[in-house]
Structure 1
């Protein structure tokens, strides 16, 4: 079975083709991605209307590119999957509309996919895919969650974001330091030149006794410290960036280890854009190696939003019998869609 996946939830347009054979892990045949970063940089953040229009321009050429690279024809596609939510409403509607139009034209079914489940399952696209069960640290954009994952569709949320997520803490702190959009990668790069112990910044909820996250207080602390530095900020910017990154990483690290302890599981999966952070990977790898815990990540190219994770999630849900693709082409999108609202294993789709 060939699954074509379309991602358009925010500022990346992604298309991919995944093949399934029986119960084996689906195989990525090809994928293509266009990032809108250059377009949004002038505004310091994503402009939803511009994002939607750019998705319209990009999605069909990317689809042609994916088909050409895979050597497959469009009429060979068995299912068209798209990101149904969460995300920007207008951007989601582009992907949903194109997917359903393709479904009608081909006479093939379509399936709306949860964006966060796509990230969660994206490590299965790697050269070293995980095995169930595992603890998952999902750090994507405005979402930071820890979950116990028993199988596809069997997720127990152990802790989640109360206010600002880790990705928001990176991006907002970077903006306070005058770094370009998107700030997280710029802050991480600048941090490599700084002293991570130069400033004593808070580690919110680190000793709360639960597995929830809250990074709003850290952002406020970065703002306060930047104002205190005044004219010296430019010369100390790398130190402040390094200290900020260290605070975020320590919270993610220690909460992840606590989740492993609480569940007794010996495998950790890290997914989402922040999962590409080098400091986080190094510290998680070292700490988990000491505990004899395996750690899995998506390939670096698949940490950000992409069509491959959408095709993969659709394929794995159908393999698990959780959801059937539909030949009804009326669609809606869910800009706000909690992951725990998905049909679960053993429940009706």
Structure 2
């Protein structure tokens, strides 16, 4: 629970969180990479409005996200999505801008130019409507996507898998989290994108690789699993092994579906092995998956199979796996960070 007087953003003290005693409506903006998003969430769980403007088509021609172009696209979309979110909130719940308890924005990690667009918009809204502002960590927000439309409460073990990060996180409470392990080189999403390019798949390669993998034999090729100690991961060796495999065909037709399936089987098995180790050694019965790669069919399948062993598994709906602002609003509600002032800055890398 947060109770603080922020003289830059709010004249009166405001209490936010599960113990506030009244309904909290938080409007959040997300712009860390190539989605411009705005959402209004009630009490950290009920999504009142949710708008996302994707840039996938724009960046597909370049084979990846171009930061300068992404920032310009955010500038073109930001006012439109804010207006649409307010419109949805009015139609769905009769919520007006003056009913918003606080505004929130992603401060990082992410692309600096992109982050600045959303952060400055959120600050401006807070100043305009004389409300508190909350800066939110993008990775924490992905975890909080699991609170949306569920009754999930800590403690739980979380597997965060995205384009830039792969972590196993011990979530002891809404505000206390410990990273037990992470990748020492490529993140899962990064490995997917690199392998997709190796076999000639267009951007975004991860989802296309996943789809092709469902048509192939996951045991066609034996690929190396991560051998890093503890809960950490390493996927650079796997990527190199796929490169060697591709080169071995020397221009001949490749069994692309089998390569995709074998790669996906190796990745998902590695993630499951490390996650089970963390669950067993820390005596948790609740497990969460989060991040853009949590939408992957095989990873979801393997993690949900843990329910047969007595674990309770949570995963966000597909629309809350990729970047969105609903998870940011939920994070602002549940995480007991202090409110931020006008000088809060963005950051590009994990702190």
Q: 2:308 aligns with which of 281, 290, 294?
A: 290
Aligned to 2:19: none
Aligned to 1:42: 61
Aligned to 1:347: none
Q: Distance in 1 between matches of 2:252 and 2:262?
A: 16
Aligned pair 1:228/2:251, yes or no? no
Aligned to 1:343: none
Aligned to 2:343: 330
1:9-31: CA deviations, max 9, x gaps? 001111100122xxxx5321110
- TM superposition score normalised by structure 1: 0.90
SS in 1 for 2:251: helix
For the 8 Å contact 1:7–1:307, the answer to whether it is kept is: yes
SS in 1 for 2:154: coil
Aligned to 2:40: 17
RMSD of aligned residue pairs (Cα, Å): 1.3
For the 8 Å contact 1:79–1:325, the answer to whether it is kept is: no
Answer with 128-137 or 181-190: which moved more. Answer: 128-137
Q: 1:59 aligns with which of 78, 82, 93?
A: 78
Cα distance, 1:209 vs. partner? 4.1
Matches within 5 A, 1:26-175: 26-71=45-90, 72-126=95-149, 128-175=150-197
Q: Distance in 2 between matches of 1:86 and 1:18?
A: 22
Q: Distance in 1 between matches of 2:338 and 2:87?
A: 27
For the 8 Å contact 2:175–2:334, the answer to whether it is kept is: no
For the 8 Å contact 1:226–1:233, the answer to whether it is kept is: no
Aligned pair 1:212/2:225, yes or no? no
1:243-296: CA deviations, max 9, x gaps? 11111101011111111111011110000111111111112222x123200100
Aligned residue pairs: how many?
324
C-alpha change, 1:129 and 1:223, in structure 2 (3 Å) is: farther
SS in 2 for 1:16: strand
